[in-house]
Amino acid sequence: MTDCDFLVVGHGIAGATLAYVLRQRGHQVMVYDPGQENSASNVAAGLMNPVAGKRFALTWRAADLLPFAATFYRELEQRFGQPFFTETPILKLFGSLEEQNAVLTRSADQPWGDFVAGLVTSDPGLPGVNGPFGGAWLRHGGHLAVRTLLAALAAEGTRDGWLRRETFDWTRLATSAAGATYAGRVRARHVICCEGAAAVRNPYFGWLPLTPNQGEVLDVDCADLSTAQVLNRGAYVVPVGPGKFRVGATYRWPPFSEVPTAVGREELAARLTIITDLPFTVTGQRAGVRPAVRDRRPLLGPHPTVPSLSFCGGYGSKGVMLAPRLATLLADWLDGHGEIWPDVSLQRYNTLRPASVI
């Protein structure tokens, strides 16, 4: 029997950041994950964008989450001696004169704090970029090489023995007030479910209002397109190397295919042709399922009736920005100090749990 303090189920960005924070605090942690190639985290473009959507709205808690995440990922870069996070300006292009006018009108109220570096009302003249209506230059955003970071952490976990490349079977978990035992092999003080969208099938947490949606991204070669910034207009175009870009993302609600589709590829290619007239070649395509939540807020904290069990996830399309701060918040709570913020706490949904389930 292996004894540990915390058993983390899932090593996507949610579970990996939580396990890292707990280990940094000196806790014994075990992580289970079979290593799924198309997990949302492995597919994600890794963008951290402070101003999103057609309404140019400031992302929820951006002023807290973005700097926290950037510092967190920089610390991991130091640890592994490898680059993961690239801070990049983001040019959010206006799609029309109406959109430009709406944003200019709102700008008088300064709704974006420090995140908008400037607004331009004519074509910014970037190599290969169609921007006839101008756009908003955003700062303090960037992109994370999520897959590379998770691979580095997993390699450490395999080497040091805290990561098991197995699917966790919840029917083999026995819980008590003092802790939990898994398959007669591992004893833990507390178990945390970080299964991403797969949590909809979890016997303890399946009642949570997760609304998984599928997304696809393309890898694209486009020789002369500007790489000095992320571009955003209907799609985001993230530079990942000289002449290389990741273009995303689609949204599909159930029923959906979990593998890449021709429709997804065509949709993204069409959106890219609005941003640039340059020829491009699609070199790769990936699909994954986002763990979205009905009210678009994460889900964090203890199970309502099983004291040795918690949940960490529901990050929707913003896992990169959310994961470091929320992992730290949950770790604080697990360490006996700090409260789970009410707007992310599972408790807001306790009434959804049927009396018949665990």
Ligand X SMILES: Cc1cc2nc3c(=O)[nH]c(=O)nc-3n(C[C@H](O)[C@H](O)[C@H](O)COP(=O)(O)OP(=O)(O)OC[C@H]3O[C@@H](n4cnc5c(N)ncnc54)[C@H](O)[C@@H]3O)c2cc1C
Residues at the site binding ligand X, with contacts judged by CB under 6 A: 9-15, 32-34, 36, 39-41, 43-47, 167-168, 194-198, 215-217, 248-249, 288, 290-291, 313, 315-321
Q: How far is the CB of 193 from ligand X (least distance, A)?
A: 8
Nearer to ligand X, 219 or 332 (CB): 219
Residue nearest to ligand X (CB): 12
- Bridge partners (DSSP) listed for residue 174: 181
- Bridge partners (DSSP) listed for residue 281: 221
Token readout for 114 is 């420090």
Nearer to ligand X, 15 or 131 (CB): 15
320 contacts: CB under 8 Å, gap ≥ 6: 13, 44, 46, 47, 48, 69, 143, 144, 146
For tokens 């994600």, name the residue.
44
Q: How far apart are CA 212 and CA 283, in angstroms?
A: 27
Nearer to ligand X, 134 or 237 (CB): 237
Q: How far is the CB of 64 from ligand X (least distance, A)?
A: 16
Q: How far is the CB of 214 from ligand X (least distance, A)?
A: 7
Hey, what long-range contacts does 26-29 have (CB within 8 A, 24 or more apart)?
28/3, 28/4, 29/4, 29/5, 29/162
Q: Which of 143, 83, 142, 85 is nearest to 115 (CA)?
A: 142
Q: Which of 250, 251, 255 is nearest to 270 (CA)?
A: 250
Beta-sheet pairing, 135-138 with 116-120: antiparallel
Nearer to ligand X, 120 or 240 (CB): 240
Q: Which amino acid is at 245?
A: F
**Burial level of 120, CB count in 10 A (0-12/13-18/19+)?**
middle
Q: How far is the CB of 107 from ligand X (least distance, A)?
A: 25
Distance (Å) of CA 249 to CA 23, 198, 257, 268, 302 = 33, 20, 15, 7, 32
Q: How far is the CB of 108 from ligand X (least distance, A)?
A: 30
Q: How far is the CB of 110 from ligand X (least distance, A)?
A: 25
Q: What is the dihedral of CA 70, 76, 77, 82, to 10 degrees?
A: -140
Nearer to ligand X, 112 or 205 (CB): 205
Nearer to ligand X, 33 or 267 (CB): 33
Q: How far is the CB of 122 from ligand X (least distance, A)?
A: 28
CB of 230 within 8 A of CB of 38? Answer: no
Q: How far is the CB of 290 from ligand X (least distance, A)?
A: 5
Nearer to ligand X, 89 or 106 (CB): 89
Nearer to ligand X, 5 or 33 (CB): 33
Q: How far is the CB of 195 from ligand X (least distance, A)?
A: 4
Nearer to ligand X, 317 or 328 (CB): 317
32 contacts: CB under 8 Å, gap ≥ 6: 7, 8, 9, 10, 11, 164, 166, 167, 168
